[in-house]
Chains A and B, each alone.
Chain A
Amino acid sequence: MKHTISALVENEFGVLARVANMFAARGYNIECLTVAETLDPTVSHMTIVTSGDDKIIEQILKQLNKLINVIKVSDVTETDHVERELVLIKVAAEGDRRAEALRLVEIFRAKVVDVSPDSLMIEITGDENKLRAVIELFKNLGIREIVRTGKVAMQRSQKTKAARKPVEEAA
């Protein structure tokens, strides 16, 4: 099963290598990993997507925690959290296909960020399901190039059920 792990780490050289090395040395796979500075410039946030059975995930969490530069680790998979990923798609957009591409952009609340006579570059953010759906649809038009950032994830704040709903929709 896929797991999304959130980790706060020291913002120092070599920390990414340590984390990646732990996965490589123990034979665990990283499906994607994103890392960037937090509000505190000495701390970075990593979102790691990996997969494995319960035993493997338990070891991954413990082994990550064991790294001296790792401050906090949590598996957000089973918790109430928001996941997002950014994708840039360069899609063929000649003739009739341009209108269809723009229609899809509208439906998925995507954004056109570059235009050329025969193609469009489109920026889309969303969770994994949304991006999969978008990519499938654009495939029919002809995708020329695609770049993905990998997932970022954040746990939701504690709220009542009633208060949570509008936030979900807005997200």
Chain B
Amino acid sequence: MKGADIFLECLKREGVDILFGLPGGVTLDIYDSLYDCEGLRHILTRHEQGAVHMAEGYAKASGKVGVALVTSGPGATNAVTGIADAYMDSVPLVCFTGQVNTYMIGNDAFQEADTLGITRSCTKHNYLIKNVKDFPRIVREAFYIARTGRPGPVVVDIPKDVSRADAEFVWPETVGLRGYKPTIEGHIGQVRQALKAILGSSRPLLYVGGGAISADASDAVIRFAEKLNIPVTVTLMGLGAYPASGPCYVGPLGMHGYYNCNMAISDCDCLFAIGPRFDDRVTGKTDEFSLKSVKIHIDVDPTSISKNVPTQIPIVGQIGRVIEQMYEELAKTDPKVIEAFKKRIKPWWNQIAQWEKQNPLCFKASTNGKVKPQFAIQKLWEVTKGDAVVATDVGQHQMWAMQYYRVNHPRHFLTSGGLGTMGFGLPAAIGAQFAKPDKLVVCISGDGSLQMNIQELVVAVEHKLPIKVMLINNGAHGMVTQWQRFFYKRRYSASQFMQPDWVKLADAYGARGLRVEKPEDMEAGIREMLKVSGPVLLDVKVDPEEDVFPMVPAGGAVNKMILPESPLS
């Protein structure tokens, strides 16, 4: 069997039904085999970064491993941003890169890049296949590594002569990686200690991160939080892990998190962290972060524990399983202890409600006839009843989406949290729509972000995907201008730029372009956007002077927020 055919057979054995990519000289054999391959759908993207983000969107929305296939040299280097993005957000992804012939490697051959070297720092693992016989083993290991433990991207570099060489197809029955054994079960002693700390506390807080979603542990989180009535705050990546409409939900926290959440994390006496990584956008100044609390941290990746903030009760294990263990221990606990705990934390709930009353999440209604971006997103949430899969880009619109699109389900809010990659939203939405054809998928983007991968709009048109792009258009790199307003005396250096005519641009790609310029037209505009069956780009001209509040200045303490009435604003 030819290497290229072995490759495709391996993908099928791994349950892959779709891959995103762009061909090139060294992957021609693979593409030739794909030509009449049944059971595998290849989506031709217009840029390799788009291919990887689509695979990410597919993986985030479905929970399956996303697959991308790109060529050598520039194909591989174009894919690096997407790979790094997947690495930061723990997205299960396998990216196959073409490579020059094995005998040419190292000779600066045409379109050669040291893909292994370049991607070493931004992959969970990477491989170069030197012998066609290793193909099935390496593909099997790559998928296993990508989806187990802390998920992440794996790169497999395929030299052209390997994809042309012949070998017998032998599928390995098992994966044998002696240095890689992710911990599933939590240490029972630590589990008991954690439960004791929670039940002994007066001001507990559950702090849920993206790890809870990638481990599909949302149900376990809900069950545990509601059994004990513990307030739940989530990170940007954790949105949807606990429903925004749930009784224990208090909101997202961090640099642009809700006031009550940031105050709560600063004042709690027991911080129960489920799968976050204590990112600096959440902790602010670590020296002043949640100083009064005992910290419990569940994570499948031991390196995340005590990396940024010291943890007193670390539990390494798969989140769903560890919470189940806690639940089993809880079942053995005297109900009186649980009742006493619930009673004890009542004043804490009152305090959080008080904070919310003191500084609720809000924005001022428009007085200048311009659309407030928050209003646009809130309307989208109302009209879609919070049921859409939302993909965002990066910037102010992303933060408003976090604040005003109240997510109720896991895998319904897809965003680039760790790397902060502008250009993520549109291709990720396309990938998500392929994963969930029956779902409404909306990409909330900004005019800076959307231009970074706008070429992928034609992919949505080509495949008749009913994707809706809601463009929060303020004519600038909004978050940059916000920082320039606050910290650089309104000197807008290189942050405002000329715009294309977005409606015409959408039309040029074969999509439908719509525009909203007045607040009173907002709801009708959204309804019109949803009515159209194919892809739509809704250009919402918003107030360019609007800022995201609250805001924790970078490196500041998380409870010292800039609020709309602050002198800086």
Interface on A for B, CB 8 Å cutoff? 9-10, 14, 17-18, 21, 25, 55, 58-59, 62-63, 65-72
Contacts and interface: CB of A to CB of B under 8 A. Distances in A.
A67 B179 CA distance: 8
Contacts of A58: 306
A68 B145 contact: yes
A68 B121 contact: no
A10 B179 CA distance: 8
Contacts of B121: 21, 25
B177 A68 contact: yes
8 contacts: A9-B179, A14-B128, A17-B117, A25-B121, A66-B303, A67-B179, A68-B124, A68-B125
Contacts of B120: 17-18, 21
Interface of B: 116-117, 120-121, 124-125, 128, 145, 177-180, 301-303, 306-307
Contacts of A10: 178-179
A69 B302 contact: no
Contacts, number: 35
Nearest to B125: A68
Contacts of A72: 179
A23 B395 CA distance: 32
Nearest to A62: B303
Contacts of B177: 68
A132 B133 CA distance: 51
Given A17-B120, A18-B120, A21-B120, A71 B179 contact: yes
Nearest to B307: A59
Contacts of B306: 55, 58
A62 B304 CA distance: 9
A101 to B, nearest CB: 45
Contacts of A18: 120
Given A14-B128, A70-B179, A72-B179, 4 more contacts: A10-B179, A14-B116, A17-B117, A59-B303
Nearest to B305: A62
Contacts of A9: 179
A67 B145 CA distance: 11
A58 B120 CA distance: 22
Contacts of A21: 120-121
Contacts of A14: 116, 128
Contact of B179 (A25, A59, A69): A69
B303 A63 contact: yes
A20 to B, nearest CB: 10
Nearest to A73: B179
Contacts of A63: 303
Contact of B302 (A17, A65, A68, A71): A65
A21 to B, nearest CB: 5
Contacts of A25: 121
B310 to A, nearest CB: 8
